[in-house]
Chains A and B, each alone.
Chain A
Amino acid sequence: MHVDYMKAITERYSRLGYPPYDWYHADTPPPWQPLDRKLSDCKIGMMSTSGAYVAGQVAYFYKDDTSTRRIPKRTPTEDLRFSHITENYLVDPRRDPNCIFPIEALRRLEDEGTVGEVADELFSCMGGIYSKRRVAEELAPAVHENFKAQNVDAALLVAM
């Protein structure tokens, strides 16, 4: 079986008296950009929606925060923190950030040559954004600018 999260969340919100969540259902096929080289020749960018920040950075707020944090790939794991509207999913990430923010895995994949290079700055947002319009108009362009500025060949997007 697979967990039906949309149904569980819809039921939960209804029971708690929250307004129903307006789920996104894509109504067009996804765009497609083939990878034009081997992964081992690629520079990879990474964004996590887990609400990761580095100690010293401003944390996220929980009402449609569309801001992002740049997280240098050499950041010590113990300096990573999380703030996310669904704090119930952060219990393990706060013990071991690597189960949601793959900073050590990416460093290893770079060292072993699976990927050519990992972009110097990884980054995160707080993905619990209820406004699809603000994702499209604020978050997505910021992510695009960051990846373009770092000349990434492909991007890994990790959802929480």
Chain B
Amino acid sequence: MCHQTVSLVARYLEERGIPTMCMGSALDILTAGNPPRATFVDFPLGHTVGKPFDRDGQIDIVRRGLLGLETMTAPGIETLAVRWSDDEDWKREASDGASGGDVRQPRDTTPRYQYEEDRRLAEGG
């Protein structure tokens, strides 16, 4: 649960003197984790820092997120003014417990490579 993990790590780092900025796309999980600073990017999961191949948009999102480190003077979650699409169909799909949410893979301790070639490289074969 990535958004929960970043909140826990952010609180740990901040307690030890490192200011943090979390960026995430699941507002409810971020709110529950209550990290020191967060930037909410209202995009489908997997696109926290932008749309694919939209380099200028990605840079702008990361820039605005980082600037929050300077501008936020108290804990909170700031919402970025960005829009994924003209309609909100993706939100209805993601909210549906039948089709939305995590399609998790089997939980075991075998490394899962993106490509078979990666396995050969990593295993030195």
Residues of A within 8 A of B (CB): 1-15, 18, 21, 23-26, 29-35, 38-39, 42, 44, 47, 49-50, 53, 55-65, 81-83, 85-96, 98-102, 104-106, 108-109, 114-115, 125, 127-130, 132, 135-136, 139-141, 143-144, 147-148, 152-160
Contacts and interface: CB of A to CB of B under 8 A. Distances in A.
Contacts of A86: 45, 102-105
Interface of B: 1-30, 32-36, 42, 44-55, 58-59, 61-63, 65-67, 69-70, 73-75, 88, 91, 94-98, 100-115, 117-119, 121-122
Given A44-B66, A86-B103, A92-B47, A6 B32 contact: yes
Contacts of A141: 12
B111 A61 contact: yes
Contacts, number: 318
A58 B122 contact: yes
Given A21-B1, A96-B53, A159-B5, A87 B18 contact: no
Contact of B19 (A35, A100, A140): A35
A83 B18 contact: no
A9 B104 CA distance: 10
A109 B66 contact: yes
Nearest to B5: A127
Nearest to A132: B8
